[in-house]
A and B are shown apart, each in its own frame.
Chain A
Amino acid sequence: MRQFLVGILLFACAAACANAAEVRVVYLHAPESKARLSLIDIPADDDGLAGARLAIEDNNTTGRFLDQQFALEDVRVPPAEKPAVGAFMEGDAPLVVADLPADLLLMAADAGRARNLLLFNIGAIDDRLREEDCRGNVIHVAPTRSMLADGLAQYLVWKQWRRWFLIVGTHAEDRLFGDALRRSAKRFGARIVQEKTFEDTGGARRTDSGIAQIQRQLPVFTQGVPAYDVLVAADESEVFAGYLPYRTWDPRPVAGSAGLVPTSWDPSFDQWGAVQMQSRFMKMFGRRMTARDMQAWSAVRMIGEAAARTRSFDPGTLLKFLTGSDFALAAFKGQRLTLRDWNLQLRQPILLSDGKMVVSVSPQEGFLHQVSELDTLGVDRPETRCRLK
Chain B
Amino acid sequence: MPPICRALLGIGLLICARAQAGAFTAYISNEKSNTISIVDTEKLAVVGTIKVGQRPRGIELTKDGKFILVAVGDDDAVQMIDTTTHEIVANLPSGPDPELFTQDPTGKLLYVANENDNTVTIIDLASRTRIGDVQVGVEPEGMGMSPDGKILVNTSETTNMAHFIDTQTREIVANVLVDARPRFAEFKRDGSELWVSSEIGGTVTVIDPTKHEVKSKIAFEIPGLRKEAIQAVGISITADGRTGFVALGPANRIAVINAETHAVQKYLLVGQRVWHTAFTPDEKYLLTTNGVSNDVSVIDVTSLKVIKTIQVGELPWGVAISRH
Contacts and interface: CB of A to CB of B under 8 A. Distances in A.
B317 to A, nearest CB: 13
Interface in A281-323: 283, 301, 305, 308-309
Contact of B138 (A58, A275, A279, A373): A58
Interface in B224-251: 226-229, 231, 250
A274 to B, nearest CB: 11
Given A328-B179, A330-B157, A336 B138 contact: no
Contact of B137 (A65, A276, A329, A373): A65
A113 B228 CA distance: 33
Interface in B64-95: none
Interface string B155-190: 011111101000000001001010111000000000
Contacts of B229: 335
A280 B117 CA distance: 8
A301 B160 CA distance: 11
Interface string A358-374: 00000000000000111
A61 B226 contact: no
B56 to A, nearest CB: 15
Contacts of B160: 62, 305, 308, 330
Interface string A60-91: 01100110000000000000000000000000
B31 interface: no
Contacts, number: 73
A374 B115 CA distance: 29
Contacts of A308: 160, 177
A273 interface: yes
B180 A62 contact: no
Contacts of A309: 177
Nearest to A309: B177
A373 B227 CA distance: 10
Contacts of A275: 97
Interface of B: 97, 115-116, 118, 137-139, 156-161, 163, 172, 175, 177, 179-181, 199-202, 226-229, 231, 250
21 contacts: A58-B138, A58-B158, A61-B137, A61-B159, A65-B172, A65-B175, A66-B177, A275-B97, A276-B116, A276-B139, A279-B116, A280-B116, A283-B116, A309-B177, A330-B158, A335-B231, A336-B201, A336-B227, A372-B226, A372-B227, A373-B228
Given A61-B137, A276-B97, A301-B158, 7 more contacts: A61-B159, A62-B160, A65-B172, A273-B139, A276-B116, A309-B177, A335-B231
Shortest 6 CB-CB contacts between residues of A and residues of B: A330-B181, A335-B228, A65-B175, A330-B200, A330-B180, A62-B159
